[in-house]
Amino acid sequence: MRIQRVVARAFGPFQNETLDLAPGLTVIAGPNESGKSSWHAALRLAITGLRRGKGPGTAVERELALRHKPWDQPDRWEVEARMQLDDGRTIDVTQDLANKVACRAVDVDLGRDVSDEILDGTPDASRWLGLDRDSFATTVSVSQAQIMAVADAAEGLQEHMQRAAATHGADVTAAEAIARLEQFRRDAVGADTVAAKGPLRTARNRLTAAAAAHDQARQAHADFLERAAAVESSERAAQSARLRLAGAEAAVARMQAAEASARAARAAELQARHPAPPPTLAASDELAARAAAAVDGYRNRPAAVDLSGPTTDALQAELDALPQPPTGDVRPHPSVVAAQHAVSLAVQALHLLGDRPAVEPNPAPGWDAPALRELAATLGQAPLPEASDFEAQLAGLRRGSSAAARPQLLFGGACLLAIVSAGLLVAVSAPGAVAVALLAVALGAAGAWSLSRSRATADALARAEASVEPYRRARAAATERRDAALGRARASGLPEDAAAIAELADRVAAIAVQRDALIRWEARHAELQGQLLTARHDLAAALRDRGEDLAADADPAAAAATYHAACESRSALQRLADRAEALRHQLHARRAAEDAAAAARRRAHEAAERLRAVAAELEITATDAEQLCAAVEHWREERSGALQANQRALAEWQQLQALLDGGSLADLQGDAERRRQRANELAAALAAEAIALPTGVQSDEHLAALRREAQQLEREHDVARGALDAQRAALPDVAEAEEAADAAQRELERVEGLAATIDTTLGLLRAAQERVHRDLAPVLARAVLRWLPVVSGGAYVEVSVDPASLHVRVKESATGQWRDARYLSEGTREQVYLLLRVAMAEHLVSTGERAPLLLDEVTAQCDGERKRQLLDVLHAISGERQVVLFTHDDEVAAWALDSLASPQDALVRLDPRPVGAAFTIGAPSTAEPPLVPLSVD
DSSP 435-494: HHHHHHHHHHHHHHHHHHHHHHHHHHHHHHHHHHHHHHHHHHHHHHHHHHHHHHHHHTT-
905 torsion bin: left (phi>0), alpha (psi -120 to 50), beta (else)? beta
Residue 113 scores a pLDDT above 80:
yes
Per-residue confidence (pLDDT) for residue 698, from 0 to 100: 53
Residue 84 φ/ψ, nearest 5 degrees: -110, 115
Distance CA 691, CA 245 (A): 10
pTM for this model (two decimals): 0.39
* 291 against 685, higher pLDDT: 291
Residue 790 scores a pLDDT above 70:
yes
806 torsion bin: left (phi>0), alpha (psi -120 to 50), beta (else)? left
Per-residue confidence (pLDDT) for residue 929, from 0 to 100: 31
Bridge partners of 94?
80, 104
Most confident of 91-95, 346-350, 489-493, 735-739: 91-95
Residue 917 scores a pLDDT above 50:
no
pLDDT band (50, 70, 90) for residue 92: very high
Can you tell me the mean pLDDT for 362-390?
A: 79
Residue 933 scores a pLDDT above 50:
no
Residue 326 φ/ψ, nearest 5 degrees: -75, 160
The size of the chain, in residues, is 937
Which residues are CB-contacts of 361 (< 8 A; sequence separation ≥ 6)? 511
Q: Which of 243, 224, 240, 217 is CA-nearest to residue 721?
A: 224
Per-residue confidence (pLDDT) for residue 918, from 0 to 100: 40
pLDDT band (50, 70, 90) for residue 391: low
pLDDT band (50, 70, 90) for residue 167: very low
Can you tell me the mean pLDDT for 510-517?
A: 88
Which residues are CB-contacts of 628 (< 8 A; sequence separation ≥ 6)? 611, 612, 615, 620, 622
- Determine if the peptide bond prior to 903 is cis (ω within 30°): yes
- CB-neighbour burial class of residue 620 (10 A; exposed 0-12, middle 13-18, buried 19+): middle
% of the chain at pLDDT higher than 90 = 11
Q: Radius of gyration (Cα) for the chain, nearest Å?
A: 62
Per-residue confidence (pLDDT) for residue 932, from 0 to 100: 31
What count of other Cβ atoms lies within 10 Å of the Cβ of residue 642? 11
Q: Which of 403, 388, 390, 400 is CA-nearest to residue 465?
A: 390
pLDDT band (50, 70, 90) for residue 463: low
pLDDT band (50, 70, 90) for residue 787: confident
Residue 365 scores a pLDDT above 80:
yes
**Average pLDDT, rounded, for the chain:** 78
Can you tell me the mean pLDDT for 785-807?
A: 75
Most confident of 17-21, 450-454, 785-789, 797-801: 17-21
Per-residue confidence (pLDDT) for residue 433, from 0 to 100: 57
What count of other Cβ atoms lies within 10 Å of the Cβ of residue 785? 20
* 841 against 519, higher pLDDT: 519
Distance CA 105, CA 96 (A): 12
pLDDT band (50, 70, 90) for residue 22: very high
Per-residue confidence (pLDDT) for residue 539, from 0 to 100: 86
Give residue-wise pLDDT tens across range 114-149: 999 998 889 999 899 888 888 787 778 876 556 555
Residue 4 scores a pLDDT above 90:
yes
Tell me how far CA of residue 610 lies from CA of 236, 598, 619, 639, in angstroms: 78, 19, 14, 20
Contact 217, 733 (CB under 8 A): yes
Which of 119-133, 466-480, 596-610 has the weakest average pLDDT?
466-480
pLDDT band (50, 70, 90) for residue 924: very low
Per-residue confidence (pLDDT) for residue 762, from 0 to 100: 67
Most confident of 87-96, 187-196, 692-701, 722-731: 87-96
Which residues are CB-contacts of 845 (< 8 A; sequence separation ≥ 6)? 129, 130, 131, 164, 851
Q: In the chain, count H helices and then E strands.
A: 24, 17
Bridge partners of 796?
812
Contact 910, 916 (CB under 8 A): yes
Give residue-wise pLDDT tens across range 802-840: 766 677 888 887 788 888 777 777 677 777 777 777 877
Per-residue confidence (pLDDT) for residue 37, from 0 to 100: 87
Can you tell me the mean pLDDT for 657-672?
A: 80
* 663 against 906, higher pLDDT: 906
